[in-house]
Structure 1
Amino acid sequence: MSEILDLTCELIRRSSVTPEDAGCQALIAERLAGVGFAIENLHYGEVRNLWATHGSGGPVLTFLGHTDVVPAGPESEWTSPPFEPVIRDGMLYGRGSADMKSGVAAMVLALEDFVRRHPHHDGIVAMLLTSDEEGPSIDGVRRVAEEFRRRKQRIDWCLVGEPSSQSRLGDLIRVGRRGSLHGHLRVRGIQGHVAYPDKASNPIHSAAPALAELASTRWDEGNEGFPPTSFQVSNVHSGTGANNIIPGSLQVSFNFRFGTASTADGLRERVEACLQRHALDYSIVWDLSGEPFLTPEGDLRNAVNLAVESRCGMTPVASTAGGTSDGRFIAPLGAEVVELGPTNATIHKIDECVGVDELEQLPGLYLEVAERLFSARGQS
C-alpha cells in the first residue's frame, strides 16, 4: 500500500465524529515533529486544534484542514463499515475519505516532502487543523483566528484541502465563499379555540404575507465574483399538535447566502423593515456564521492554476459557489485563500468514497503549489 493510502486509511479508522478528533491530530503532530515542525496545540473546550510550523519570518503558507467528520448515519445502509476503509473498484470507501481525511493526509505528505527538499527555506510552511469544522465552528478555526489576530500571526497564503473538484481532480477550485446569515424569528399571537378566532390572534396568518414577501424579494443582482443573494426558509414550527387550537406563537428559521453585492447589516435591516411593515409582534435572533470573501488573481491562484495544469492537464474553473469552509475565518487575516481537493460527489453521503488515482496525485499537487509559491519569491 502506498504511503498516502496508508495514512488516509489510518485516519479513516479513527471515528472522529465532530467534535471528536480521536487521535488524528496526535498522529499528524508526531509525523510533522519528526521532520522538524514546531507543534502547538490550541485546544478550546472539546475542540482540538493543531498549529504546526516550519521555518521563520515570511512569507507564510498555511495548509488548512479538519480532522472531524459528520456522523455516518445508519451503519446498516453502508456497503462496508464506515470506519473500516475498503478499496473497491478503484475507490477508497469510508466516512471522511473525501471530506476530508484524504486532503489532510496529502497535505501532511506534501509538507514532509517540502521540508526534506528545502530544509533551509525562507518563510514558514504550516498546517492548521481543527476538529470543529463539521460542527458549530465556534472553538475551531474561528477561535484560532481570534488568537492569531491577537498575537499578530501573519498568513499570506492559505490552501484549503476541502473537496472542491466536480468530476475529476483539479477541474474546479474555490477562490471565495458566500457569506452565511441565519435568522431565527418568533412571531407572537394569542392562543385560542379555532371556533372563536375573534378571541385569538393567529401568528401563522399574520406572518404568512411577510414570509411570502421575503421569499419573493430580489435581494441583489450579484456581481462578477458572486451570484445573487439567496433567501431560504429552513424550518417552520407552530402549534401544540392539537387541531382545535390557534397557536400562540410561530417560529421560523431562515438563511441568507450572500456575496459582496449585499452586506449582513443591510440584509438584517431589510428583513426587519418588512416585518415592521406587516405590523408583526416579533423578536428575532441573528447569527452571522461567515462574511463573504474573494481571493483575486495573485500569487496563490497563479500557483494553483499552474500546478493543476502541470499535474492534471487542465485549467481549473474558479468558483465561489457551494457552502462555507473554514477559509472564511482565515481570509479576514489578510490571506489569499484557495480551496483545492478531490471530487465531492459523495461527501456526507452513505458510502462516501474517493478515487485511489486522485488520492495518489494529491500530495504531489500540493507540493508543487508550495514549491511554485516559494520559487516565485526566490526561495530555495
Structure 2
Amino acid sequence: MADQDVLALARALIARPSVTPDDAGCQALIAARLQPLGFACESLPSGGVSNLWARRGVQGPLLVFAGHTDVVPPGPPADWPSPPFEPTERDGQLVGRGAADMKTSVAAFVVAAEEFVAAHPAHPGSIALLLTSDEEGPATEGTAHVCRVLQARAETPDYCIVGEPTSTARLGDTIKNGRRGSLSARITVRGIQGHVAYPHLARNPIHQLAPALAELGATAWDQGNAYFPPTTFQVSNLHAGTGAGNVIPGQAVMDCNFRFSTASTPADLQARVEHILQRHGLEYDSRWTLGGEPFLTPPGPLCTALQSAIAEETGVQASLSTTGGTSDGRFLARLCPQVVEFGPLNRTIHQVGESLPLDNLVPLKNIYRRLLEILLADAPATGRPA
C-alpha cells in the first residue's frame, strides 16, 4: 500500500490545473497531509502567488525540500494523447501536465517525509518543505519572497534539495550542484530613417550594428572553471524596418542573453559589451536585466549524501553538473550554504504529452527518504536553533 502512496498523490496533484500562478489547491492538499505529522504549515502568499512553508522541528540541522506546484500551460488539449489534467497511465508512463516538472517530485517529498517521520518520530534536526506557485512565471513573489521571510526571522537552512527534473538517461544519473547565471539585454541602435535610393541622407542602424554583433558573437567571455563551462552569448531577437522595402530603418533592436559562470560577473559582462558597442561608434540605448546569479555547491556533505542515497537505491553513480537553465536554487543559495537539484527524467518537460516512467516513482521517493536518514537520523543534531 505504501508504494501506491506516491502515485496516488502525484495523480491528485496532476489533476489540479495549477497553471502559473494558480496553485489550484495543491498546497492545501499537501498541508493537510503534513499537519498531522507535526509540521507547522504557514501560507505565505505574495502578489497573487501561493507559497507554503511547512516545518517539523526547531533545531538544526534544517533540511529543506523545495519545489513548485505550478505548471506551464498545456496548449491545446486536443494535441495531447489524453486530457493534460487527467493523469493517465499508458505504456508504463504516468502522463499529464506536471508529471515530470515537478508534481511527482513534490509527491515523493511528501511521502518520503511521512515514512521518515513514522520511522523516526523523535528525529534530530528539522525537516521543511518550501513550495511556490510562481516558479514557471516571473518568480518574483514565490521562492524569492519566502527566502526573504526566512532571512528576516533568521531561519537558516543547512541543506536544500530542489526537486527539479535533473535525470537525463535514467533516474539518478545527474545532480545539479549549481547553475549558471542569466543576464539579458535589449540594445536599441539609433540610425536615421530614409529612402533606400538616397543612403547618403540616412544612417542604417543594421549596417552599423553588424560588425559589432560579429565581434560580440566571436568573443570568448571566459574559459569557465572546474565546475562551469565557458560563458555563452546568444542573440534571441533582432528587429528593424517598417515593413516597406524602400525604407532604411531608423533603429534596430537586439535582444541578447548571457549564461555565465562564476568566472565572470554581470558588471564585467555588461562593461565589455558596452565597450564593444562604443568602439564601433554606435548611438544606442541599453536595458539590462539580471535573471539570476550563478551558484555552486562544491562536493561536500549534501552532494555525498545524495550520491550515496542514489547509489543505494538505483546502483547509479550520479554525476555533478551545472548545465541547463536557471531555477529557484538561485534564491535559496543566498540563504543556504548547500543547495542541489535532483529529480526525475527531464526528457518530456514542457512538452505535449509530458510523462514519467511509473517505475521511477517509488525509487525517487526512496532516495529522498534515504537522504533524510543519512543527514538527520544518522547524524547528530547540532543543538542550535535553525
Give ranges in structure 2 of 5+ residues lacking alignment. Answer: none
Instruction: Spell out the pairing of 1:234-249 with structure 2 (5 A cutoff).
Output: 234-249=236-251
- Provide, for residues 54-83 of structure 1, a one-character-per-residue CA deviation record: whole Å limited to 9, x for no partner: 000211100000011111122222111111
Answer whether contact 1:305 1:315 (CA < 8 A) is retained.
yes
* Residue equivalent to 1:162: 164
Instruction: Spell out the pairing of 1:214-225 with structure 2 (5 A cutoff).
Output: 214-225=216-227
Q: Is residue 2:308 matched to residue 1:290? A: no
Q: State the 1:23 CA deviation.
A: 0.9
Tell me the SS of whatever aligns to 1:332: coil
Answer whether contact 1:56 1:122 (CA < 8 A) is retained.
no
Answer whether contact 1:190 1:247 (CA < 8 A) is retained.
yes
* Residue equivalent to 2:85: 83
Identity %: 56
* Residue equivalent to 1:7: 9
Alpha-carbon distance in 2 for matches of 1:146, 1:114: 29
Answer whether contact 1:220 1:228 (CA < 8 A) is retained.
yes
* Residue equivalent to 1:328: 330
Alpha-carbon distance in 1 for matches of 2:184, 2:151: 25
Answer whether contact 1:72 1:95 (CA < 8 A) is retained.
yes
Tell which deviates more after alignment, 353-362 or 243-252: 243-252
Match for 1:141: what amino acid? T
Tell me the SS of whatever aligns to 1:242: coil
* Residue equivalent to 1:307: 309
Q: Structure 2 residue aligned with 1:34, among 18, 33, 36?
A: 36
* Residue equivalent to 2:50: 48
Alpha-carbon distance in 1 for matches of 2:279, 2:151: 41
Alpha-carbon distance in 2 for matches of 1:69, 1:22: 11
Alpha-carbon distance in 2 for matches of 1:346, 1:297: 29
Alpha-carbon distance in 1 for matches of 2:269, 2:157: 30
- Provide, for residues 248-267 of structure 1, a one-character-per-residue CA deviation record: whole Å limited to 9, x for no partner: 11111111111111111110
Instruction: Spell out the pairing of 1:210-289 with structure 2 (5 A cutoff).
Output: 210-289=212-291
Tell me the SS of whatever aligns to 2:236: strand
Alpha-carbon distance in 2 for matches of 1:327, 1:293: 8
Give ranges in structure 1 of 5+ residues lacking alignment. Answer: none
Alpha-carbon distance in 2 for matches of 1:282, 1:149: 40
Match for 1:201: what amino acid? R
Alpha-carbon distance in 2 for matches of 1:113, 1:27: 18
Alpha-carbon distance in 1 for matches of 2:229, 2:42: 39
1:226–1:56 distance in 2 versus 1, CA, 3 Å = same
Q: State the 1:367 CA deviation.
A: 0.5
Instruction: Spell out the pairing of 1:82-231 with structure 2 (5 A cutoff).
Output: 82-231=84-233
Tell me the SS of whatever aligns to 1:133: coil
Q: State the 1:35 CA deviation.
A: 1.4
What CA RMSD, in Å, does the superposition of the two structures yield over aligned residues? 1.4
Alpha-carbon distance in 2 for matches of 1:330, 1:295: 12
Q: State the 1:275 CA deviation.
A: 0.9
Alpha-carbon distance in 1 for matches of 2:323, 2:206: 33
* Residue equivalent to 2:339: 337
Between the two proteins, the alignment pairs up a number of residues equal to 380
Match for 2:111: what amino acid? L
Match for 2:21: what amino acid? P
Tell me the SS of whatever aligns to 1:17: coil
Q: State the 1:379 CA deviation.
A: 4.8
Q: Structure 2 residue aligned with 1:22, among 21, 24, 49?
A: 24
Q: State the 1:107 CA deviation.
A: 0.3
* Residue equivalent to 1:57: 59
Report the TM-score, using the length of structure 2 for normalisation.
0.96
Alpha-carbon distance in 2 for matches of 1:378, 1:86: 43
